[in-house]
Amino acid sequence: MTTARTLFFTAPKQIDLRETPLPDLKEDEVLVETVCSAISAGTEMLVYRGQFPHLKDAHDEVSSELNYPLAYGYACVGRVKEIGKKVGREWKNRLVFSFQPHTSHFFSKTDFLYPIPQSVSPENACFLPNMETAVNLVQDGAPILGERVLVLGQGVIGLLTASLLNEFPLENLTVVDSIERRRNALDIENQKSNVKSIAPNDLQPSTFDLVFELTGSPTALNTAIEHTAFSGRIVIGSWYGQKRAEIDLGGAFHRSRIRLVSSQVSTIPPELSGRWDKSRRFEVAWQALKRIQPQKWVTHRFSLNDAVKAYQLLDEHPQETIQIMFTYS
């Protein structure tokens, strides 16, 4: 194997599959053959649409300057096919997760690979970055016994966050999404759930102690503010890129002492950093993947050769999708 097939974003809504040369295997590296990788409907679609700021991205461990042409992605699962002379033999044939762009093969040092537990399938493992994000969001929100909680947005991040919140003894949990398939996903998969799923237009005047804004649309912040109780808090998990909107920070927001919490998975919150690190949070994420089994939300699988169709579907018909996956076999 001397080349890898890698997906590049070359301009807004333009992608290209390129044969990229693989260098010789170094003594401290392994060669990984990709099994599957997940498309991010948030950050990655900003790259696809050209809505990303041109700056250093801190989300993943292979971050690079966000400028076209760009290989981008961060949810890759593969199997170790070759090992360097200085790598332990236990790595050979191991299934691993890596924060890699969409590519058929890649070299990596083992420090940047995450062995996948035997009880987690490759497709479930592709949700690891999103599950870590959901864990981080819930930790930043710090839900309290008996609270009323609202989650705006039921894409993959919203579904995972709501699934974790549903494990808490809350007074109630309400999820909102404009796409019927997404807002009903929790009810379909968890008949015993007490989650209330509603469309944005059906959200009645009410207040919540804790609100998560996960829609990817900055205008949703006004909805969050409108429905947050006195001294309540809003956790902002969306990355808006270059999208802008007018936000009403007068009246209700100012008088109600509402707290806006910026949440980003690339760091550990300062108040937890004395007891938590990335490895501990990853272990929590692996255990959550075992319980929640998000593979059930994979609605479409494409080969890398059909990548154009995959991105067009997510861009033009998002109501038909939840999670889109690339397969490489």
**Contacts of 111 by beta carbon, 8 Å cutoff, 6+ apart:** none
Q: Are residues 59 and 101 in the same domain?
A: yes
Q: What is the CATH number of the domain that holds 183?
A: 3.40.50.720
CA distance 193 to 16: 43
**Contacts of 187 by beta carbon, 8 Å cutoff, 6+ apart:** 193, 195, 197
- Higher-confidence residue of 53 and 117: namely 117
Q: Give the pLDDT confidence score for residue 51 in this predicted structure.
A: 85
The pLDDT tens digits for 43-81 are 899 899 998 765 444 444 434 457 899 999 999 999 999
Q: Are residues 210 and 140 in the same domain?
A: yes
The pLDDT tens digits for 5-49 are 999 999 999 999 999 888 899 999 999 999 999 999 988 998 999
* Predicted structure pTM score: 0.91
Three-state SS for 139? helix
Domain containing 71: what range? Answer: 3-116+293-327
Share of the chain above pLDDT 70, in %: 94
The domain total for the chain is: 2
**C-alpha 276 chain-centroid distance:** 20
Q: Are residues 134 and 255 in the same domain?
A: yes
**C-alpha 144 chain-centroid distance:** 24
In a domain, residue 55? The reply is yes
Share of the chain above pLDDT 90, in %: 78
In a domain, residue 161? The reply is yes
The DSSP secondary structure of 58-81, one letter per residue, reads -SSTT--B--SSB-----EEEEEE
Q: Are residues 93 and 145 in the same domain?
A: no
**Contacts of 88 by beta carbon, 8 Å cutoff, 6+ apart:** 110
Residue pair 304/328 in contact by the 8 Å Cβ criterion: yes
In a domain, residue 206? The reply is yes
In a domain, residue 103? The reply is yes
CA distance 30 to 85: 9
On average, the pLDDT of the chain sits at 91
Q: How many CA atoms lie within 13 A of 54 on its CB side?
A: 5
Phi-psi label, residue 27: left if phi above 0, alpha if psi -120 to 50, beta otherwise: alpha
Q: Give the pLDDT confidence score for residue 1 in this predicted structure.
A: 60
Q: Give the pLDDT confidence score for residue 59 in this predicted structure.
A: 43
H/E stretch holding 140: helix 128-141
In a domain, residue 228? The reply is yes
Q: Give the pLDDT confidence score for residue 242 in this predicted structure.
A: 75
Q: Are residues 134 and 106 in the same domain?
A: no
With bands split at pLDDT 50, 70 and 90, how would you rate the model's confidence at 243?
confident
Q: Are residues 97 and 136 in the same domain?
A: no
In a domain, residue 140? The reply is yes
Q: Give the pLDDT confidence score for residue 259 in this predicted structure.
A: 94
Q: Are residues 9 and 102 in the same domain?
A: yes
Q: Are residues 47 and 146 in the same domain?
A: no
Q: Give the pLDDT confidence score for residue 63 in this predicted structure.
A: 42
Q: What is the CATH number of the domain that holds 9?
A: 3.90.180.10
In a domain, residue 276? The reply is no
The pLDDT tens digits for 277-324 are 999 999 999 999 999 999 999 999 999 999 999 999 999 999 999 999
Q: Are residues 7 and 60 in the same domain?
A: yes
Q: Give the pLDDT confidence score for residue 162 in this predicted structure.
A: 97
Q: Are residues 67 and 137 in the same domain?
A: no
Where among 239, 262, 285 does a domain terminate? 262
Q: Are residues 180 and 239 in the same domain?
A: yes
In a domain, residue 286? The reply is no
Mean pLDDT of 157-184: 95
> Would you say residue 257 has pLDDT above 50?
yes
> Would you say residue 227 has pLDDT above 90?
yes
Q: Are residues 44 and 158 in the same domain?
A: no
